[in-house]
Amino acid sequence: MKIQEIAREAGVSPATVSRVFANPPNIREEVREQVFAVARKYGYHPRLSSKQQNVVIVSPYHEIYPIRSYVEMVISELALALSARGYRIEMLPQDNLGQLERIRFCGAVSIGIDAEEFGNWEERFAAPLIVVDRDAPAGPGEIYSVRSDENQAMALGVGCLAEHGCRRVGVIIYGKSGIGNAELRREAALSALRRCGLPVSGRLVRFALTESYVEEVGRLLKYGIDGLFCPGGDAGILAAYALSLYNRRIPDDISLVASERTMYSRYAIPPQTTITQDYAAQAAAVADALDSRLRGNPFPQRTVIPYRLIERDSVGGRHSVP
């Protein structure tokens, strides 16, 4: 279908149709909806423009899910990768998604937000959406995902503790059941325990947020753990504090593996062994997806990037559990 045909059926000029698809802020809402209604009716998607270089980064607001540290690290790498390729960045919080209708952009990047939150994306925007840290919906379309390998991450953390002689490992996943990656990590942690020949029990794999972290560490200690794996959030800080309250020394009494935090992990006493996402690789994959789609080239719908293990001093040898 041609723009002239859409214009004729929508009752507007071809120039107006072109302006609607360019998404400027001064188009009347009724005109915009009129044009998009015709486009949706015939399954028409305008060609992406390589001249428009604005990229909108959509971040979660704190009340939705407390992943602020992760978001900050991703954004810092995205800023470097996208600016190096000539893109201009515009920030938008998730609770202000309505503003997308008034912003001119060539692509959008969401961090830690499920793709379903964006509704009928392809019916509303002629631009790719790259969701970071979540999966893109199956099927053809302009929604892509870039995420880290959570199954591999849980295997790294549990495997490290098992290789250093831990025989009863507890896992505390930072988050709430049913929100974000929490359930995915739980199932992967249980599988990792099973593969390592360690005790497998729902009691040994728990969820916690900041306010309940000390209590959950205490519960695991009652089950006689000699290794603690704490993926997500600021768990490394919280776990170290909790273990000090329970008079457990790291790594003499209990080994600890956490998630990497740039300004804390290496400076903790002792420095913490951690798993870390490859934020630079994530940002490069996002930029590659934008470049490919704006040039009309195909790009994989889902990109999965492996974690890395950083070994430091918080994992010791065999323990005698009190």
Closest by alpha carbon to 250, among 273, 275, 216, 276? 273
pLDDT at 37 (0 to 100): 84
pLDDT tens-digit series, residues 90-131? 999 888 877 787 777 889 999 988 888 887 787 778 789 999
pLDDT at 204 (0 to 100): 97
Residues 9, 116: Cα–Cα separation, whole Å: 31
Closest by alpha carbon to 169, among 155, 184, 182, 179? 155
pLDDT at 244 (0 to 100): 97
Residues 255, 257: Cα–Cα separation, whole Å: 7
Say if residue 1's pLDDT is above 90.
Answer: no
Say if residue 320's pLDDT is above 50.
Answer: no
Say if residue 10's pLDDT is above 60.
Answer: yes
pLDDT class for 321, splitting at 50, 70, 90? very low
Q: What is the CA radius of gyration of the chain?
A: 23
pLDDT at 296 (0 to 100): 84
Q: How many C-alpha atoms does 35 have within 13 Å on its Cβ side?
A: 26
pLDDT at 52 (0 to 100): 60
pLDDT tens-digit series, residues 173-182? 998 888 878 9
This prediction's pTM: 0.78
Angle at which helices 68-84 and 279-294 cross, to 10°: 50
pLDDT at 72 (0 to 100): 82
Mean pLDDT of the chain: 88
pLDDT tens-digit series, residues 126-152? 789 999 998 888 776 789 999 999 999
Say if residue 65's pLDDT is above 70.
Answer: no
pLDDT class for 47, splitting at 50, 70, 90? low
Closest by alpha carbon to 248, among 225, 271, 274? 225
pLDDT at 173 (0 to 100): 96
Say if residue 310's pLDDT is above 70.
Answer: yes
Higher pLDDT, 78 or 45: 78
pLDDT class for 322, splitting at 50, 70, 90? very low
Higher pLDDT, 51 or 41: 41
**Which tokens belong to 236?**
């490394």
pLDDT at 64 (0 to 100): 47
| Strand ranges for 40-181 from DSSP E | 54-59, 88-93, 107-111, 129-132, 143-148, 169-174
Higher pLDDT, 43 or 9: 9
pLDDT at 62 (0 to 100): 59
Say if residue 280's pLDDT is above 60.
Answer: yes
Say if residue 227's pLDDT is above 60.
Answer: yes
pLDDT at 46 (0 to 100): 63
pLDDT at 197 (0 to 100): 97
pLDDT tens-digit series, residues 232-266? 888 999 999 999 999 999 999 999 999 998 889 99
Say if residue 225's pLDDT is above 70.
Answer: yes
